[in-house]
Structure 1
Amino acid sequence: MRPHETLTESQDRRLLEVRLACPDIARACDLTRAFADLVRHHRGHLLLERIREAEQDAPRPRPMQSHEFHPTAEVLRRQGQLTNSARCAAK
């Protein structure tokens, strides 16, 4: 991640628009910038403390809706369809 001060005016404006539109992206951006600062300034000794802070502030995962497939479930569903199709073709 580039330091904020190196962004062009249009990049800075676009980043602000995205951050305002989605609080989750804003939070992810804040965490990424904090991590980049730790690395850039050799503050690895603060990493565990920052992880704990991030975990405390993290939003709860939202429950999946019945119409949503977990990626693994989607793969398994497709494999099942392929298996059923292969069985029908073999008959």
Structure 2
Amino acid sequence: MDPTQEPMTISFGANLVQAPYRVTVLERIRVVVDALPVEGIAPDRLDAILAGERRPTSLDLALIAEATGVTTMWLLHGRRCSRPVSAV
């Protein structure tokens, strides 16, 4: 991790999770999935993603983000959105 960047703290109710910025998409998925259950994705599909046997689709990322309260931007890039994003 770059020492000039501080880890991002994600709050899941009473649980706080530290996630460094310089990690992979898979590692960020693991951080949030370990903290909260993900509904909407078949367990075998999620297991394959976490094992690195399957790449997550955009729908998988959206479902994981929605279930865990993070953004797809954070899952993909480790950054918060600078402005609110909405679908029109």
Classify the TM-score, shorter chain.
under 0.3
Larger radius of gyration: 1
TM (norm. structure 2) is: 0.28
Answer 1 or 2: which has greater strand percent. 2
Q: Return the structure number with greater relative CO, CA threshold 8 A, min gap 6.
A: 2
